[in-house]
Amino acid sequence: MCRFFVAQQARVILSDNAEIIDRAGIETLPIKFDLGGHNTDLFCKSDLIVLSPGVPESIAAVQVAKQKGVPVIGEVEVEIRELAAPMIGITGTNGKSTVTTLTGEIFQAAGKKTYIGGNIGEPMTDAVEAGAWDWVVIELSSFQLESMQSFKPRYSMLLNISPDHLDRYPDMAAYIDAKKRLLMNQDETDFTIVNIDDPEVMKVVASGRGQLIPFSCQQRLDEGMSCQDKEITWRWQGKEIQFPVDELQIKGLHNVANVMAAMVPALIEGVDAQTIWRAVCDFTGLPHRMNLVRMLDGVAWYDDSKGTNVGSVVMSLTGLDKPVTLIAGGKDKGGDFGLLRTAVAEKVTTLILIGEAAVRIEKEIGPVTEIIQAETLA
């Protein structure tokens, strides 16, 4: 981002709470530094404040500057203003990276020059510098959506909503409000792809204006994408196409939902269904998301270390057969661990807990299975 603004001949000041930062890649740039705290006077004298996704608008220097009329936007907002290609914006508590990557790879398989990024991959400034694109597919976290202003995706996707980042937001309503910003500039010419099985998602999209395209793993849909009896069916404007779930390399019902959402934009845009399905079946998933690491003495070891909230753990357990030994814990982000109770009771024979969240997890789940508190993974 610093390089981008320097190229625009802007005078750049990089502000950080830390007194020492990694300057790799920017050490030769003609920029100034505001380290060890945010200087309110500097913020108020700025023409524009651009926030990194990890920086909330609530910090004091930003709030004072906003009150004085200084515009405040996020990194992604800067970049999407520089891109002319049609965009696909994807959010949700879980599955964003998988769906973003797969959606982009489908368009790439169809011969379209497609950028895949946002909350994953390379910085979006790379997309700006690379020139013209046929499609831009962007994963958007709630943090990034907070500072969105002009984003108007041709396709928006709202995959699911469950408690997350409650260490940043005061309550679920604030978290959902951030997610809702994905839809704020869409109109009747745009499409909103939604998980009709998620009641929180359906509450959010009730205020949107885009054309709704639902997907479901629980019910047959007359219009949209649904899965029943191990077969995905796309029904749209009188057409019907089937796809066999058994041909997928990524497993689990949550991944079936991810696949259904990812296929919709290309189908609407007229990409050949077999081209789409070949790209989907070639997809082996992303690292650290329910990846089978190895089989040892008849035990399957899965890496799901990207499952960092309660909802993602529940979905992962749903796709496994009992008996499961689950290693969980780590940072406490404020979620309701009681929501794990049913899934743990049904699938987990041994639960090993580590990190700061361990004690609260055990308390909220209750004695539904064998629980071991561990200091380390050694």
Annotated catalytic residue within 38, 96, 179, 254: 96
Q: Is 119 one of the annotated active-site residues of the chain? A: yes
Q: Are 282 and 290 in contact (CB under 8 A)?
A: no
Give the largest CA-CA distance in the chain.
65
Q: Is 254 one of the annotated active-site residues of the chain? A: no
Annotated catalytic residue within 152, 165, 180, 254: 165
Annotated catalytic residue within 119, 195, 255, 309: 119
Can you say whether the dihedral through the CA atoms of 163, 169, 172, 174 is positive or negative? Answer: negative
Short-list 117, 108, 139, 106, CA closest to 265: 106
Q: Is 16 exposed, middle or buried (0-12, 13-18, 19+ CB in 10 A)?
A: middle
SS3 call for 235? strand
For 80, 114, 179, the CA distances from 1, given in Å and listed in that order, are 13, 21, 24
Amino acid at 97: S
Q: How far apart are CA 158 and CA 177, in angstroms?
A: 13
> Which tokens in the block code for residue 189?
């010419």
Q: How far apart are CA 51 and CA 54, in angstroms?
A: 8
Amino acid at 196: I
Task: Report H helices in 194-298.
Answer: 199-205, 253-268, 273-282
> Which tokens in the block code for residue 329?
């814990």
Q: Is 96 one of the annotated active-site residues of the chain? A: yes
Query: What residues are annotated to the active site?
Result: 96, 119, 165
